[in-house]
Every structure is written in C-alpha cells, then in structure tokens.
C-alpha cells in the first residue's frame, strides 16, 4: 500500500476498460449514494458478489473518501465528484472536492491520541495505492485503487 501525495496520478496511466463519473450533493446522503453506486458498479462490471472482499473494500474506501470530501473539502452549496474506473487489475475510486488548499495530512503526522481522523488509515489498509492530486486552483482529487482479487466469500 502506497500513498502518493500531489502526484500527477489523478488519472491512471492505463486506459480504463470502463469508467463512470457523477456529482453528488455535499451531504451525508450524497456520500451514502456514492458508496452504494461504487459497489453497484463494481458488481456490474466485474461480477464480484456484494459480499466479496473487493466489494467490501470499495464500500469502505468510497465511504471514507466521500465523507472526507464533505467534512473537509466542501464549500457550502458545492457538490463532490465521484469517478469510478475499471482498470485491468484494479478498481479506481476518485473523489474530487472544492478545497484544494485542504490536503490530506501525512499519516505519519497523525497524533496517536486523536479520537477522530482515522479514516485515511482505513483507506490505506484497504487500498493498494492511494494519493491526492491538485490539478487546478479550484479542486483536488483524492484517489484510491482496490486490487481486484477475491480472497474471501
């Protein structure tokens, strides 16, 4: 699992087999719908069952990235964008928000006694790679890739 900070990797090097991008309201409901859509698309595009390890990882990663976009990257009345890309052996989740100046903090700098802010540790644990890219002065994209291999259920 690797973290890439401010790299040019908001777009994958390989052309995706399939892709979908939608905007969601910057609300808890928007985050919930984004999570459900990410899992639905994974199961439609790959035939992985809902209770497979990749589907669980996609649900958790999408929920954390969408929640962070709403909590830390949202301006009032602004949506966030969810992009899903099916790559040869990974499923890429990209969440773009409207606060490029608020970058995810390096995990090594997280105080051990914090009672919140552990979501990116979950992303790191369930994604093979993740990172953040700022490509314009108005948005940032936090992305994660979940490897497509069934190891359970």
Q: What is the pTM of this model?
A: 0.83
The number of helix segments (H) and strand segments (E) in the chain equals 3, 6
- Half-sphere exposure of residue 128: CA atoms within 13 angstroms, side-chain side: 10
The mean of the pLDDT values for the chain is 84
CA distance 38 to 57: 11
* pLDDT at residue 14 is higher than 90: no
Domain edges within the chain = 2-147
pLDDT of residue 7: 45
CA distance 23 to 31: 10
The model's pLDDT over 94-146, given as tens digits with 9 standing for 90+, comes to: 999 988 887 777 765 555 555 555 778 889 889 999 999 998 999 999 999 99
Nearest to 122 by CA among 102, 141, 144: 144
Q: What one-character DSSP code corresponds to residue 108?
A: G
The model's pLDDT over 125-138, given as tens digits with 9 standing for 90+, comes to: 899 999 999 989 99
**Which one of 3.40.50.150, 3.30.565.10, 3.40.50.720, 3.30.300.10 gives the CATH number of domain 2-147?**
3.30.565.10
């Amino acid at each position: 699992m690797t973290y890439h900070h401010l790299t040019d990797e908001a777009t994958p090097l390989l052309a995706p087999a399939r892709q979908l991008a939608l905007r969601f309201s910057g609300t808890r409901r928007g985050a919930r719908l984004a999570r459900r859509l990410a899992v639905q698309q994974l199961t439609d595009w790959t035939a992985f069952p809902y209770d497979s390890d990749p589907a669980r990882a996609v649900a958790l990663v999408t929920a954390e990235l969408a929640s962070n976009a709403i909590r830390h990257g949202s301006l009032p009345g602004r949506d966030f964008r969810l992009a899903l890309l099916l790559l040869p052996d990974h499923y890429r989740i990209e969440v773009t928000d409207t606060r490029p100046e608020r970058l995810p903090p390096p995990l090594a700098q997280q105080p051990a006694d914090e009672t919140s802010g552990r979501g990116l540790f979950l992303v790191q644990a369930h994604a093979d790679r993740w990172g953040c890219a700022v490509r314009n002065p108005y948005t940032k994209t936090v992305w994660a890739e979940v490897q497509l291999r069934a190891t359970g259920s």
